[in-house]
Chains A and B, each alone.
Chain A
């Protein structure tokens, strides 16, 4: 029953998306002809968008209900769940598979569209109609995809006795957080995309458009940042080898929209403040969502083997590819047709805030190009019958080629004035960063650090100091929230970079087969293997190592890494145990039993490694503060406008 209700809600939502598209388009035509205000059709677009979102949410809730009950007459539940699984993984497992994750996608997209329809009143009505119609167009494609090629509510008969369970690697609290966060990010970019389309259709590209789009870009960017950071930490502790970024195509698929969104965020700021970079901002809006879709295509089509590629079904791949071609193709055609009529806007000098932001945009786009080529190229050569791998030895130096100049400009950019400035004016503010950078260089050389970690260790402290300089001479209590956000986010870049460089330069690794009672030294730590004991969980049994660890002459802590055996589905995983100090993390893993009653242990001391994710969180926090600042300012404006209207009304009476 619940499955049928969910499916009905999904069909209704799809039908409403169709109505939203047609009504929006027709109303827009009548607007353009100058016959009236679009009439009834224009009036229904907003409510339809809201109801469409709510219906999609109903479908998702229905599916979550099916997973919660472990309804084994539903094929998706059978294939991905198990009655003995803990409740949180039953619920989170709803999107731990292909169909469910696509349903989550359309739900978030529908709700976001409904929210825009409800609150956004600043833009001219035709632009809003075009935006909502564009949003419906994109949604419709995904509804079609769900209903035709990946129905999440399909029943199966005969009803099996038990489900097949969920990949143990995914049975982690990370699953409840990482996919929805990333999806919020991807889908937020779809709103930015729709705004860009709406603005192109009605040729209304200006500061008002940028201000309407900015909260969505900011929000999407914050979620992408947090989603990537969380995903990286999850991989770090889940995979059991201490790696936190693998340049895996799936990671790249989330990084590419982030890079585009970062560029978009900065160019949006220029458009909102200075009415410059108009065509460029529109272009980035299109590219950012294109990257989301390319990411979805890569991950969902099954051309990649990965823990994320839930289903290998070529039909789905070609469906997404078709959607991609239609959406991106039509957006680019529209852009090509209209770009000529959208002027670039206000001019500015090389040494100016705009100049620095343009440089940032070009560098980010180039990094995006590198990641895109490095990710897609192996697929191309495979089509020619030869498999190659592109990994860290390619991505790290090539991305640094553009990253290093970008962060050098980051040290200066926020200090510059809009339109025209002189470097000589800000030299006293640049000096501390340069001095710290040189000192760091000396220290790193003395420690014998080489290569990319050396560059990171020099740049990180320099950026950290330089990023705080915009605060100089300001009253901190009166600091606008967006400025505070910018400072925190830029500081976060330095923090993350420092963590990455330290991990590469100073990590110590110890692989050993230890007797019970043996003391192993790793970096400043002494690790004692006190024993190995069996333990059991809801759907697994495990061997657990009892470790006693001591930092130099400090207190003794207990750590308990496990080697788990899941029985549905049958799979072995390692569960690492981590101990965090202010200056780094001790990472312990229990391996297999070796000969002579010894146990394989893998131990790492990773100085300052948590700073990678702390930096990521700071970047996200900075974005959230900026978003809050913008929203409060908008709210204030609305209140003031209402007050004025109220006074006018009273005086007019």
Chain B
């Protein structure tokens, strides 16, 4: 186990050290102490590392992550795991805005709540929020799956492309072109798998699926009010 104290070492030094690690150190864990809400902790990783951030992190924690598994024991600021490619990011507290923004792969799990624009422009990531999410969740979501065990704020799934959203609680309102959809067998199965994989003992039948109505896929005069 490597330990880095961010009161004694800069984020730049930490990230540089993590980027320079030779391949093959996969089994070595890293513990980041005293993150103190600092920004850009553990971003741009491309190694099979196991990293634990012991406390709160600021913006873009684990941004653009590839292959690494990162756990944050506290809260995170804006854009946690933004543009993640693979690997996983677990947040044991709450997340600020734009959690998992544009992420193309991997798994983002938030134990608490996520603020506005969770999963904005998501492009293939799986996002599991055990609490609730704020407004504009999955805005322009292109691909991937988002599971919300609590409630969703206003304009969920606005201008959605092909991302799939599952919400257990209430939805304040749906955004343009986002509609409730039937839970067919494949959806029940994928939701069960996502819940099970994350140790969630939820009843799948209590969730509702939301997706794109695909009315905005082509510019048409009849949809002018939605543009």
Q: Do A and B bind each other?
A: no
Chain B residues with CB under 8 Å of chain A are none
